[in-house]
């Protein structure tokens, strides 16, 4: 039998069955637990996913915490994000919350959805002593529900525009021509660059709305309002963003690719002259060792004709969540003393893993001012930290993924020639239906 195919239905049915078990759980607040006495010993289990990045950072944090708390052990279990989401969903639905780890990393865009649905699984960290005002408000916003904080921000999703300076030079342009500009300027200068060098500037995965979402947030726009109602139809900022993308495509500056590998290949092969994404994309940029010294970064273009437009936005990023399970007080103290309180930690993980602090006091460290050889001896980390404080806040809410997917469908249709207003109206209806 075609076991693999059948198992999918089995999975759906099985997981669905699990849901009935705990169908009566009510959402509750766990805001007292983190403020309790902190035990001096114990083992903290952590789920996160990238050995070169967040797992490495967590292990370094453990070393720092253990200096003062020698009896506390940290056990990191490598778990891909998709698995964390699936496990969290199944465990929370079936009420087996004791099987969650003490700490897990959660994508910022999925944070509110999970807290709203599975409030029982999360510890409210508001009264735990973490100084949330030491993080950029846009970043803290992802893990804040009804004014309560549920996450300690980890990875910084601030958007950067990385450009090949050698290509710019060939076209008689400089980094200045791409800094603090609007998309109209971008198209003009990009066209000049393409005419002289033959290189397109950026690419995006077909059906992925990353670029649109970044443009939207750069002007403080969201797919939802503060009450969580979808604002896709008649959303001027969204319309403008899709229009910009259409112009970029028409001018041949934006190239659509089909997979993530193809996207990465686009710039590391020297085919595309730039990469525009969350700062974490620089990790991939730097895999092109032969291009050392040929890259620099700057902020992103802003939308024309929109009052709230800025040159700053974000994509991705994640925050640490403390499960309500066994040792919330210890887990909270651990995060408070490391990711929200140790300059030393960020000084270690920045050069080794490229993990950029969201925690603002860390950015004062000298290490952020160090010039990076790959980026033509510019202090890119100081630049990014500067951008990150200026990123406008956006609303994600519980239906972020539905909204994003509906917007991508609309975007794909519009790029193929559909009427923008109709396509966005349809997307609005799709999301409203999903919310019914």
Partner 1 sequence: MTTTTAARAVPSPPTDEVGRRRGLTSARRKSLTGWTFLAPATLLIVLMSFWPMFEAFLLSFRTGRGTRMRWADPWWANYTRLFDDGIFHQTLANTFMYLIVQVPVMLVLALVLAVLLNDRTMKLRGLWRTAIFLPCAVSLVSYSMVFRTMFSTDGMVNDALLALHLTDHPVNWLGNAVTARMVIVLGLLWRWTGYNMVFYLAALQNIEPSTIEAAKIDGASDFRAFWHVTVPQLRPMILLTAIMSTNGTIQLFDESWALTAGGPANGSKTMSHYLYELSFQNNPNFGYASAVSYVILLLVAVLAAIQMKVGDKRD
Q: Which residues bind partner 1 (CB under 8 A)?
A: 1-2, 4-6, 8-17, 19-20, 22-27, 85-86, 89, 92-93, 95, 113, 116-118, 120, 206-207, 256-259, 261-262, 265, 398-399, 401-402, 405, 408-409, 412-413, 426, 429-430, 433-436
Say if residues 142 and 424 touch (Cβ distance below 8 Å). no
Radius of gyration of the chain (CA): 22
Tell me the two tokens of residue 200. 């397109």
**Nearest-approach distance from CB 294 to partner 1, in angstroms:** 22
Going along 237-299, which residue ranges are E strands?
A: 254-257, 274-278, 295-298
Q: Is 376 left (phi over 0), alpha (psi -120 to 50) or beta?
A: left
Tell me the two tokens of residue 96. 């087996």
Say if residues 126 and 151 touch (Cβ distance below 8 Å). no
Specify the residue, 123 or 358, whose C-beta has the smaller distance to partner 1. 123
CA distance linking residue 33 with residue 28, whole number of Å = 13
Specify the residue, 179 or 284, whose C-beta has the smaller distance to partner 1. 284
**Nearest-approach distance from CB 358 to partner 1, in angstroms:** 25
Contacts of 9 (CB under 8 A, 6+ apart): none
Specify the residue, 301 or 397, whose C-beta has the smaller distance to partner 1. 397
Specify the residue, 168 or 406, whose C-beta has the smaller distance to partner 1. 406
**3-state SS assignment for residue 37:** coil
**Nearest-approach distance from CB 87 to partner 1, in angstroms:** 10
Long-range contacts of 176-181 (CB under 8 A, 24+ apart): 178/298, 178/301, 179/298, 179/299, 180/299, 180/311, 181/301, 181/302, 181/311
CA distance linking residue 300 with residue 216, whole number of Å = 12
Specify the residue, 40 or 259, whose C-beta has the smaller distance to partner 1. 259
Specify the residue, 370 or 405, whose C-beta has the smaller distance to partner 1. 405
CA distance linking residue 436 with residue 432, whole number of Å = 6
- The CA-to-CA distance between both ends of the chain, in Å, stands at 38
Specify the residue, 67 or 416, whose C-beta has the smaller distance to partner 1. 416
**Nearest-approach distance from CB 397 to partner 1, in angstroms:** 9
**Nearest-approach distance from CB 206 to partner 1, in angstroms:** 5
Contacts of 7 (CB under 8 A, 6+ apart): none
254-257 vs 202-205, strand pairing mode: parallel
Specify the residue, 49 or 375, whose C-beta has the smaller distance to partner 1. 49
**Nearest-approach distance from CB 127 to partner 1, in angstroms:** 24
Specify the residue, 254 or 334, whose C-beta has the smaller distance to partner 1. 254
**Nearest-approach distance from CB 59 to partner 1, in angstroms:** 28
**Nearest-approach distance from CB 24 to partner 1, in angstroms:** 8
**3-state SS assignment for residue 319:** strand
**Nearest-approach distance from CB 99 to partner 1, in angstroms:** 15
């Amino acid at each position: 039998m075609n076991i693999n195919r059948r198992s999918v239905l089995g999975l759906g049915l099985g997981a669905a069955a699990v849901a009935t078990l705990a169908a009566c759980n009510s959402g509750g607040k766990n805001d007292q637990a983190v403020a309790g006495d902190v035990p001096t010993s114990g083992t903290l289990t952590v789920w996160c996913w990238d050995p070169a990045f967040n797992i490495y950072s967590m292990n370094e944090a453990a070393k720092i915490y253990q200096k003062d708390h020698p009896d506390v052990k940290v056990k990191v279990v490598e778990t891909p994000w998709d698995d964390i989401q699936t496990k969290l969903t199944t465990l929370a639905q079936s009420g087996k919350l004791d099987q969650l780890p003490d700490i897990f990393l959660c994508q910022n865009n999925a944070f509110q959805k999970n807290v709203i649905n599975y409030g029982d699984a999360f510890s409210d960290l508001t009264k735990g002593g973490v100084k949330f005002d030491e993080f950029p408000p846009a970043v803290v916003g992802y893990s804040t529900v009804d004014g309560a904080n549920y996450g300690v921000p980890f990875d910084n999703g601030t958007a950067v525009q990385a450009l090949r300076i050698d290509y710019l030079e060939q076209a008689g342009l400089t980094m200045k021509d791409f800094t603090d500009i609007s998309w109209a300027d971008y198209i003009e200068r990009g066209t000049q660059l393409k005419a002289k060098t033959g290189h397109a500037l950026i690419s995006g995965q077909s059906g992925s709305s990353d670029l649109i979402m970044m443009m939207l947030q750069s002007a403080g726009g969201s797919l939802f309002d503060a009450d969580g109602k979808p604002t896709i139809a008649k959303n001027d900022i969204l319309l403008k963003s899709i229009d910009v993308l259409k112009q970029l495509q028409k001018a041949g500056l934006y190239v659509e690719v089909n997979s993530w590998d193809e996207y990465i290949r686009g710039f590391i092969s020297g085919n595309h002259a730039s990469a525009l994404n969350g700062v974490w994309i620089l990790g991939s940029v730097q895999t092109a060792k032969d291009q050392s010294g040929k890259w620099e970064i700057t902020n992103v273009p802003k939308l024309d004709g929109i009052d709230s437009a800025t040159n700053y936005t974000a994509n991705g990023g994640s925050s640490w969540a403390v499960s309500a399970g066994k040792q919330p007080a210890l887990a909270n103290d651990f995060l408070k003393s490391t990711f929200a309180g140790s300059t030393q930690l960020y000084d270690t993980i920045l050069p080794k893993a490229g993990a950029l602090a969201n925690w603002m006091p860390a950015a004062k460290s000298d290490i952020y001012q160090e010039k990076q050889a790959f980026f033509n001896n510019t202090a890119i980390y100081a630049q990014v930290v500067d951008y990150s404080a200026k990123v406008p806040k956006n609303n994600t809410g519980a239906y972020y993924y539905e909204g994003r997917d509906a917007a991508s469908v609309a975007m794909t249709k519009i790029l193929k020639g559909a009427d923008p207003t109709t396509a966005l109206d349809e997307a609005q209806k799709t999301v409203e239906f999903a919310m019914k």
